[in-house]
Amino acid sequence: MENSDDNNDEDETEWKTSFTDFTVGPNPTSPHRVILHFDLDCFYAQVEMIRNPALRNVPLGIQQKYIVVTCNYVAREQGVTKLMSVVDAQEKCPQLVLVKGEDLTHYRDMSYKVTELLMSYCHLVERLGFDENYVDVTEMVEKRLTHCSSFEGHVYNRSGVETNTGDHWRLAVGSHIAAELRTVICSTLGLTGCAGVATNKLLAKLVSGTFKPNQQTTLLPQDVDHIMGHLGSLRRLPGVGHQTSKRLQALGLVTVQDLQLFPLADLVKEFGAHTGQRLKNLSLGVDDSPVVPTGAPQSLSDEDSFKKISTTREVVEKTQDLLTILVERMQKDGRQPHTFRLTLRRYSADNKWFSRESRQCPIPNHIGQKVVSGSTDATAHLVTMAMKLFNKMVDGSAAFHLTLLNVCFTNLPPARGTVASGKGAITSFFTLGSSPRNSPIPSQTNVPAHSHPISLTLILTPHLFKSIQTLFIKRNSLNCLLLFKTIGTLGTVGPYCLIQAQKILRRKASLVCTERRLNVRILHNKDMDNNKTHQKLISLTRVLN
């Protein structure tokens, strides 16, 4: 997804920048990497259609302010597009049903569920915005003993159904894994999406939307020149934003092909050695960047844009509204923030999108503690801090015109109980059960369409989390059992049920544990419905949910 200026996911982008300076997965310069890129279909619209199935068959648009940020595919067939103005969309499609999409809570929650689900199959998952994830499945591919003779889904620029896999068996296996993961996402969460399969992140992202919706495409190395040569505008290159493309344009470069042909030395002169080389590589489809597992966010923020705020009273009110929600999110997260940042955007006719200014200050310990404990006066203290920062940027006694305010908690400690692996790698999620190393992804045949998953979520106290974490570290059956006994300390289930639960869970389940929550997701099918133990498990989930 391309972030709009008004999109509140600043903290989302910071999820992926946390641990970029070390290599985690397989060697990123290897030509044998298999990278998947997933992009959900009309994401916000799908979430709304799950919340209200009556919206499934009507043209649906998600409205933020005066813009339809996305719409379902029924609306797209009638000419509505993403980022169309509401007026234009209604003109194109008078029956368009509009749902307000300014509150991101449901989208954010679903977005994390998708990432967590992918992480329960492969530890190398990197989030990109709300509805995209990269997954490095190189190791999973190597571990599959079968060399596929055909590809799942489309193969870019090739029409033959049975493309000979030849040297590309890894990509072919990757295409099967992509299809299986799309099936799991659909059967578990009810979401469809597209996937791209290629040898690096850039190419996987570029190829994934070739056929939409709910389809997937693999790119073979011999077609890299073709896809790069047909991109057209430089803005199609992930990583080339508005500012960079303006600088490239000043050098006379408009298309990706222009950049391919432009001398590297001249790029280096303009951008420096690192960025110059990176731009050149991007234009050629070369991308060595590793898939960096997503860690806990390093900041949490919220913002709102508006036509005009020009009085101090309005600033106080808006800041208070934003902080009330942000403090709630911070409290759920459980970590104590140490820095507070206020960002604003002044109206500027000529440079509408890039005139943000920020000031930040430390959060005194007693206020940080109030935030975490959910104390009611935390917001009031923070508003006072915000106004001090505001006064450093704006002279409230003179006329001013703001179009955006953003409040942000930064300098968050790493999630407690994180598991270190490799050179300082931290991941706050860890999985058991359907780990890719232990068990295959349920394929389309063993996750029938009528199957429906059971999920239960336990909110963990620090003590419970610590016990569970210890048990996760050594994955053996004794520890599985202990794990369920630990859950049993909640006093709701007897040991017999736990043993049975564990047996079932080992067959078809994934566990994802974060510092605050343990998610147990059980993929089950009709056969299991008659099973007595399974019934017990269902009642267990009801009690615990």
Give catalytic residue positions. Answer: 132
Q: Interface with ligand TTP includes 82 (CB under 6 A)?
A: yes
Binding of residue 40 to ligand TTP (CB under 6 A)? yes
Which position has the token pair 């060595």?
288
Interactions with Mg ion, residue window 42-71 (CB under 5 A) = 43
Phi, psi of 144 (to 5 degrees): -75, 130
With contacts defined by CB under 6 A, name the span among 42-50, 407-415, 505-513, 525-533 that binds ligand TTP: 42-50
Which CA distances in Å does 102 have to 58, 62, 307, 360, 388?
21, 9, 15, 26, 28
Q: Is there binding between residue 217 and ligand TTP (CB under 6 A)? A: no
Find which of Mg ion, ligand TTP, none residue 78 binds, CB within 5 to 8 Å per kind. Answer: none
Nearest to 384 by CA among 308, 333, 315, 326: 315
Smallest distance from ligand TTP to CB 346, Å: 22
| Minimal distance, residue 81 CB to ligand TTP, in Å | 9
SS3 state at 37: strand
What six digits make up the tokens of 334? 């459980």
Burial of 320 (0-12, 13-18, 19+ CB in 10 A): middle
- Closest by CA to 522, choosing from 208, 187, 27, is 187
Could you say which of ligand TTP, Mg ion, none residue 70 binds, taking C-beta under 5 to 8 angstroms by partner kind? ligand TTP
Task: Please classify residue 394 by burial: count the beta carbons closer than 10 Å to its beta carbon, then call 0-12 exposed, 13-18 middle and 19+ buried.
Answer: middle
| Closest among 66, 121, 62 to 97, alpha carbons compared | 62
Which residues are within 8 A (CB) of 35 and not within 5 positions of it... i.e. 6 or more apart?
A: 134, 135, 136, 137, 138, 174, 197, 198, 199, 200, 201, 203, 204, 291
Q: Residue 44, interface with ligand TTP (CB under 6 A)?
A: yes
Contact call for residue 1 and ligand TTP (CB under 6 A): yes
Instruction: Considering only the stretches 1-9, 48-56, 159-167, 441-449, report the one whose residues sit in contact with ligand TTP under the rule CB under 6 A.
Output: 1-9
Size of the site for ligand TTP (CB under 6 A): 18
Q: Does residue number 303 form part of the binding site for ligand TTP (CB under 6 A)?
A: no
SS3 135: strand
For ligand TTP, the closer CB: 9 or 333: 9
Q: Which is nearer to ligand TTP, 43 or 271 (CB)?
A: 43
Span interacting with Mg ion, options 40-48, 49-57, 275-283, 335-343, rule CB under 5 A: 40-48
Residue 233 CB, nearest approach to Mg ion (Å): 20
Q: Which stretch binds ligand TTP (CB under 6 A): 33-41, 108-116, 358-366, 378-386?
A: 33-41
User: What is the distance between the alpha carbons of residues 428 and 125, in angstroms, rounded to a whole number?
Assistant: 12
What the block records as the tokens of 490 is 């909640």
- Closest contact distance (angstroms) between CB of 445 and ligand TTP is 27
Our finding on whether 2 is near ligand TTP (CB under 6 A) is yes
Side chain identity at 391, as an amino acid letter?
N
What is the nearest approach in angstroms of Mg ion to the Cβ of residue 285? 22
Q: Verify binding: residue 131, Mg ion, rule CB under 5 A.
A: yes
Q: Which of 12, 39, 287, 515 binds ligand TTP (CB under 6 A)?
A: 39
How many residues in the shown chain lie near Mg ion by CB under 5 A? 4
- In terms of CB distance, is 111 or 336 closer to Mg ion? 111
Q: Which amino acid is at 299?
A: S
Looking at 11, 14, 39, 152, which residue binds Mg ion (CB under 5 A)? 39
H or E segment to which residue 365 belongs: helix 365-373
Does position 130 bind ligand TTP by CB under 6 A?
A: yes
Applying CB under 6 A, the residues found at the interface with ligand TTP are 1-2, 4, 7, 39-44, 69-70, 82-83, 130-131, 212-213
